[in-house]
Homo-oligomer: A and B are copies of this chain.
Amino acid sequence: MQQLLYGVAYYDEYMPHERLDEDIRMMKAAGINLVRIAESTWSTHEPQNGVFDFSSVDRVLDAMHEAGIHVIVGTPTYAVPTWMVKEHPDILAETPNGPGRYGARQIMDIANPTYLFFAERIIRKLIGRVCGHPAVIGYQVDNETKHYHTSGPNVQYRFVKYMKEKFGTVERLNQEFGLDYWSNRINSWEDFPSVVGTINGSLGAEFARFQRQLVTEFLAWQASIVNEYKRPDQFVTHNFDYGWKDGSYGVQPDVDHFSAAAALDIAGVDIYHPSQDLLTGKEISYCGDSARSLKGMNYFVLETQAQAFPHWTPYPGQLRLQAFSHLASGANMVEYWHWHSIHNSIETYWKGLLSHDFSSNPTYEEAATIGRDFARLSPKLINLKKKNRAAVLVSNDALTALHWFPIHGRKVSYNDIVRLMYDQLYEMNIGCDILHPDSDSFEQYDLILVPTLYAASDELLSRLNLYVENGGHIVYTFKSGFANGHVKVRTDVQPGFISKVCGVQYSQFVEPNSVSLKGDLLGVDAEHSGVNFWMELLTPTTAEVLAWYDHPHWGAYAAITENHYGRGTAIYIGCLISAEVMGKVLERVCRSAGLWSPDQELQFPLIVKSGTNNAGRTVRYYFNYSEEPKSFSYPHGDGMELLADRPVHRGERIELDRWCFVIIEESADTK
């Protein structure tokens, strides 16, 4: 990338009246240099089966080019036209809720050949038409692709073949999945039932993995078609989205982002998050770290909120804070969904930069200041590189398995635990990467956090054990290692494969009722010492106990332990603890792993993010994520504050107004 991209999703097709010139004028005024088009409007571009009309694409490309605005063209395959469903109703995905109904997007069976035929044709027509256009800098394949729970007969049929391939014999499958239970044995491949009604979590999790593989294959298939057309200076990307809880929250259950990203040139993501008093930057940081880790490089924020929902309308300053937070995590693009607020249908209240009246408004005006700063500071801020010493290992398999074997009626999800750990790192300003279980780069980290790795193969746990033995620091939460890669509970004393490295064992676990932590190795105060929803009755073998349970019957068992193994250290947290206690555990391990630096003397809501820019210099962002003014003493080498373009000296007191930030480039090269 040569330039920070500041963009909007643009839908000329949705306009209630002719707007193109006026929109471009307003975009230019706001520093917008990118639009994404075409990904939502198949029925406009192919109004009838085999009849194509790309006039709105053509005119937007030409106008944007003339204005010097780049364009990403999306393949319009995530929302199917009415004629297709009327002509071929079977393209709708059959799901556990029954046959599909036309209306929403993302309702088709991505394994259906009829759908694939039409999808391929429109992709070739559209991309073949636009690929030579000078405005087009790249392509987005599909949009927030998932499997939409497709599970009809054709999918079940392919799943049986997948299982045959994977397990070879029904005998092995029955044994590994425990199918004797409740007479669920499959004694002949012909007997394989639809898994829609299964009560076997191993089978259910394997089907979910198969469905995620459908997504990976679908995106790779689209990318391979687009690659036939794309110019060397163009890229293919995709906008991954995340598990949702009041916004982008954690691991996407239905997609393996890492494997699906392999077919892309650049990873893209959609990040939405709470705002106003609830704006913390955590989602921007988590999703950004995740996106950057997908391909180990800078990424695109293909969608994020402008005004969005009524309860997200940003306070003054927040839009700026958000935009630069994306850059600070390594984004090279910040693109809003979307330019204008839509006047009909289900996303009418998901507002864009412009309100429905197309006029200027406070949010648009704030965006214009961002556009100016992006343009001016692009050379300094683009391509920020990071070398983090901490990582958080996340796993689709663990997420799915924990969904099947939930904690306390799903009161606590896998992503809750991921975020419990991640958010504490964030609050103490420890930069980190997001690790996939298949990664071969464990050794490059001094610390790996492992949230509740409920299902994991022997192979993965062995590598994690070796990591500790070789000097790594690791923190596991409860239930890690409990089941193997097929979600079969291990038959060893728990925590199974990692028991020795962690220096603990248990064979019983309970739900806590008025249980708290005792033991002062962590300095836990009473208010935050409660234990909720899950606790394992740990007995240390070689580990030191950091905290015990305070309970009339379970008081002899350990709750949190630390074990030195080989040249490394493993902390095991046997219960669901408060954010405060998690913070203390992570501070302890960060200090022990040598990760403690002056940046850690600052704490949320003062957030520090840093990296190295194109010039090889360290750039540090200091964000005030709060409603109150904050100040801090700048602890690093002399440099320039880039927004105000003024020198900053080590030890200088820096004031940050509410929701404000500074960007300091150190003068000395980092090398």
Contacts from A to B (Cβ < 8 Å): 11, 13-14, 16-17, 40-44, 47-48, 76, 79-83, 85-86, 101-105, 175, 177-188, 190-202, 276-277, 307, 309-311, 313, 315-316, 341-349, 355-359, 361-363, 405, 487-494, 507-511, 513, 534, 552-553, 627
Q: B310 contacts A509, CB within 8 Å?
A: yes
Quick one: given A104-B182, A346-B200, are A310 and B534 in contact (CB under 8 Å)?
yes
Q: Which partner residue on chain B sits nearest A81 by CB separation?
A: B183
A194 and B101 form a contact (CB under 8 A): yes
A349 to B104, CA, bound (A): 38
State in angstroms the CA–CA spacing of A95 and B638 once bound together. Answer: 71
What would 21 A/B residue contacts be, using CB atoms closer than 8 Å?
A40-B182, A40-B183, A42-B183, A43-B184, A76-B183, A79-B184, A82-B184, A82-B192, A83-B187, A85-B193, A102-B198, A103-B184, A103-B200, A181-B342, A310-B511, A311-B511, A311-B513, A315-B553, A342-B489, A344-B487, A359-B493
B510 touches A182 (CB 8 A): no
With contact pairs A361-B507, A553-B315 given, residues A344 and B202 touching in the complex (Cβ less than 8 Å): yes
Residue contact B185 to A508, C-beta cutoff 8 Å: no
List 10 A-B pairs, minimum CB-CB distance, nearest first: A178-B344, A101-B197, A103-B197, A43-B185, A79-B183, A47-B187, A311-B511, A355-B507, A43-B183, A13-B180
B553 and A316 contact, CB distance less than 8 A: yes
Q: Once the chains bind, are B344 and A488 in contact (CB under 8 Å)?
A: yes
Residue among A177, A180, A276, A342 with most chain B CB within 10 A: A180
Give every chain B residue within 8 A of A187 (Cβ-Cβ): 43, 47-48, 81-83
What 10 additional pairs, Cβ within 8 angstroms, besides A14-B181, A83-B191, A177-B344? Answer: A43-B184, A86-B193, A101-B194, A103-B193, A201-B344, A201-B346, A343-B489, A348-B489, A356-B491, A357-B491
Q: What residues on B are CB-neighbors of A175 within 8 Å? A: 16
Cβ–Cβ < 8 Å partners of A48 in chain B = 187-188
Asked if B80 and A183 make an inter-chain contact with CB atoms under 8 angstroms apart, the answer reads yes
Complex formed: what's the CA distance from A579 to B121 in Å? 59
- Residues in B with CB closer than 8 Å to A361 are 507-508
Docked CA distance A359–B178 (Å): 20
B307 touches A356 (CB 8 A): no
Is the beta-carbon distance between B508 and A355 smaller than 8 angstroms? yes
Distance (whole angstroms) from the CB of A293 to the closest CB of chain B: 31
Partner of A348, one of B41, B201, B355: B201
B184 and A345 contact, CB distance less than 8 A? yes
Instruction: List residues of chain B with CB within 8 A of the CB of A342.
Output: 178, 181, 489
Which listed residue, B197, B202, B349, B508, touches A362 by the CB 8 Å rule? B508
From residue A630, how far is it (CB to closest CB) to chain B in Å?
A: 16
A9–B343 CA distance with the chains assembled, in angstroms: 49
B-side contacts of A80, CB under 8 Å: 183
Partner of A104 from the list B44, B199, B202 (CB cut-off 8 Å) is B199
CB-based contact A507/B313 at 8 Å: no
- A494 interface neighbour in B11, B178, B185, B356, Cβ under 8 Å: B356
A277–B197 touching, CB < 8 Å: no
Residue of A14, A181, A489 with most chain B CB atoms under a 10 A cut-off: A181
Which of A102, A182, A307 has the largest number of chain B CB atoms within 10 A? A182
How close is A368's CB to chain B, nearest CB, in angstroms? Answer: 16
Scoring A186, A307, A507 by chain B CB atoms within 10 A of each residue's CB, the highest score goes to A507
Q: How far is the CA of A460 from the CA of B13 in the complex (A)?
A: 29
A200 touches B79 (CB 8 A): no
B200 pairs with A405, CB closer than 8 A? no
A174 to B309, CA, bound (A): 25
- Cα–Cα distance between A363 and B553 once the two chains are bound (Å): 13
Which residue of B has the minimal Cβ distance to A85? B193
Point out the residues of chain B lying under 8 angstroms from A85, CB to CB.
193
Contact present for A345 and B86 (CB under 8 Å): no
Chain B residue with Cβ nearest A177: B344
| Docked complex Cα distance between A180 and B310 (Å) | 24
| Residues on the B chain within 8 Å of A357, using CB | 490-494, 507
Question: A11-B180, A101-B197, A183-B40 in contact; A191/B82 too (CB < 8 A)?
Answer: yes
Q: Is the CB of A82 within 8 A of B186?
A: yes
Q: Which of A309, A316, A343, A345 has the most CB of B within 10 A?
A: A345
Complex Cα distance A521/B10, Å?
44
- Greatest chain B CB density within 10 A among A102, A103, A193 is at A103
A491 touches B343 (CB 8 A): yes
Asked whether, in the complex, the Cβ of A79 is within 8 Å of the Cβ of B182, the reply is: yes
Once the chains are docked, how many angstroms separate the CA of A490 from the CA of B492?
Answer: 64
